[in-house]
Chain A
Amino acid sequence: MGDFFSFLSSLLKYIFITIIYLFIFSIIRMIYKDIKKQDRPLKSKKNADSSSHLKLITDKKNLYFDVEDEYPLDKDVIIIGRSANCNISIDDLYMSQEHTQLWHEDNEWFISDMGSTNGTYINGIKMEDEPLILDNGDKIKIGHAEFLVVLV
């Protein structure tokens, strides 16, 4: 056992401990985010039926990621994307970090694509750069999931 090994080992023991604790911390952080995600829809579920919302129409069995049946349109600006900071966050690999934006103005709901890689489809047609006005019954396809627009 040489001096080199002793030096290396005494140095690495601090690094090992640090990495192991970072490992534990990262797992706990992931679990925490997981729980938070599960808690959120319970609160917003109550008024989903009576107000404007997005309704999932793709069969959930064909989707490999977690997605809710309904997302309420309860804010003036709603961003849909893969990032956890989005109002509607869906972990679909075909979705960009910030994919699509919906906003409410003069009693109309507008939609615009935020420069996503795979685009946003309204009633089967890929939308251009200009924002569009949404009607009741429009279908929005983002990544794998397709939503029905229900406006009240």
Chain B
Amino acid sequence: MLSFKRPVNMLVLINILSFGLLFFYREPLDYNVLYVGGAITVLTVLTYSIIYFAHLGDEYLFIIVSMLVTLGVVMLCRLNYMLGIKQVGWYLIAICAFYITFALYRYTKNLEGLKWIYFGAGVALFLITLIFGKSVGGARNWLVIMGRTFQPSELIKIIFVLFLSCYFSGDRNKKIFNINERYIIAAAAYVYIGFLVIQREWGISLLFFITYIILTYIFDFDWLLLLINGLFIMIGGTIGALTLYHIKVRISTWLNPWSDIANKGYQITQSLFAIAAGGFFGRGIGLGSPQLIPEVHSDFIFSAICEEMGIFGGIAIILLYFIFVYRGIKIALLLPDGYDKCVATGITVIFAIQTFIIIGGVIKLIPLTGITLPFVSYGGSSLVTCFMALGILQAISSKKQVNA
């Protein structure tokens, strides 16, 4: 009956062991930890069973993602117990969002006809953020709705993919005002990136740019356009690196964080110390000191996992993202050319690049930019929008099975 060859059983085992361990972490013993562990296990198993028995498409996507969420919640409960509870609450909301997006995408027709509505929605969200937004950590990118903060740029990621897919799946030689449409789309993509630069969201603007380039390369290959984009980003990047204070700081702390270790280089050096302290198998959950890293619960959670679960734990996280991205690309490859194929590719690329940017940042491979690790980092808007994107991918994979 209970075979350990099934991944979901192993996930339940991990849950029991890790939350059982965390139960003994604080004195006096706190039974709420067990409730958190129970809640996340029940949610995961229930959703997986629904996907598996109701045949809602690919069964691997959700099980991979729920492993990532579990590792994130375990680490958050250990770092700051309140954040762990909140994250499980967000996980519940995220799963609801997952089902709603799944149903909407699965049973709505003519999604590819709404090109300029997507564009308008994205721009409107940006404008609302600029006017009513609140600054957190140097970036004016938070909206406050009923006392809760919300990051619109997370949602715009999905809108951006939907918008680009409308163009890539449609008639590509159409001309608007005698200009080839691909240049208009390029301009529209730069409008999005421009808004993000105004908000000083370097990480997400880089993410948008790379996603746009990759999708153009896959679906609408054109040397001239790639050359223009390459030149544009080189000139823009150089000017930015030479003039803008924020970017200059990031590049100098990337090249040599040790020169200003007490201030600007503090975060990245603490992250490197944490990863080094972990070794191969880590120091054990609760035995390290990852709380020394500023912002460890959101951007730097990968370093905390590396410290307490070791390099092997970190590699496991990266491997999980690898098989997730592999599944996404597999789904996209099996589809016939069209809107769904572009959306599946776009969402997979967004997840892959976002993971690369933040993990590369915290291990000092590339300059650090503040962006969340999908599914693992603490953050309501990040978790909910990641699950919305997953819902779209799931809906696309279930469509494929019907047609096959």
Contact = CB atoms under 8 A, between A and B. Distances in A.
Interface of A: 1-2, 4-6, 8-10, 12-17, 19-24, 26-28, 30-31, 64
Contacts of B310: 13, 17
B14 interface: yes
28 contacts: A1-B286, A5-B21, A6-B284, A9-B287, A10-B287, A12-B285, A13-B281, A13-B282, A13-B284, A13-B285, A13-B309, A15-B17, A16-B18, A16-B285, A17-B309, A17-B313, A19-B13, A19-B17, A20-B71, A21-B312, A23-B7, A23-B11, A23-B67, A24-B319, A24-B320, A26-B7, A27-B7, A27-B63
Interface string B70-90: 010000000000000000000
Interface residues of B, number: 38
Contacts of A10: 284, 287
Given A6-B287, A24-B320, 10 more contacts: A1-B25, A5-B24, A12-B17, A13-B310, A14-B281, A19-B13, A23-B7, A23-B11, A27-B7, A27-B64
Nearest to A5: B24
Nearest to A35: B330
B323 A28 contact: yes
A137 to B, nearest CB: 29
Interface of B: 4-7, 10-11, 13-14, 17-18, 21, 24-25, 27, 55, 60, 63-64, 67, 71, 281-287, 308-310, 312-313, 316, 319-320, 323, 326-327
Nearest to A27: B7
Contacts of A15: 17
A12 B284 CA distance: 7
B21 A12 contact: yes
Contacts of B282: 13, 17
Given A5-B24, A8-B21, A24-B316, A30 B285 contact: no
Contacts of B284: 6, 9-10, 12-13
B286 A9 contact: yes
Nearest to A24: B319
Contacts of A12: 17-18, 21, 284-285
B316 A21 contact: yes
B285 to A, nearest CB: 5
B18 A23 contact: no
Given A12-B17, A12-B21, A24 B323 contact: yes
A27 B310 CA distance: 22
Given A1-B25, A12-B21, A26-B5, A17 B10 contact: no
B180 to A, nearest CB: 39
Given A6-B287, A31-B327, A23 B14 contact: yes
Nearest to B71: A20
Contacts of A26: 5-7, 10
A23 B282 CA distance: 19
B14 A16 contact: yes
A37 to B, nearest CB: 13
* 6 closest residue pairs by CB, A with B: A9-B284, A23-B10, A13-B284, A10-B284, A20-B316, A17-B312
A138 B64 CA distance: 45
Contacts of A4: 24
Contacts of B64: 27
Nearest to A34: B60
A128 B141 CA distance: 73
Nearest to B402: A61
Contact of B281 (A17, A19, A28, A31): A17
A3 B18 CA distance: 18
B60 A27 contact: yes
Nearest to B4: A22
Given A9-B287, A23-B7, A26-B5, A16 B17 contact: yes
A2 to B, nearest CB: 7
Given A13-B310, A17-B309, A5 B323 contact: no
A30 B21 CA distance: 30
Contacts of B6: 26
A18 to B, nearest CB: 9
Contacts of B21: 5, 8-9, 12
A147 B76 CA distance: 54
A64 B309 CA distance: 40
B287 A19 contact: no
Contacts of B71: 20
A115 B25 CA distance: 54
A23 B6 CA distance: 8
A9 to B, nearest CB: 4
A52 B25 CA distance: 67
B207 to A, nearest CB: 26
Contacts of A22: 4, 10
B10 A31 contact: no
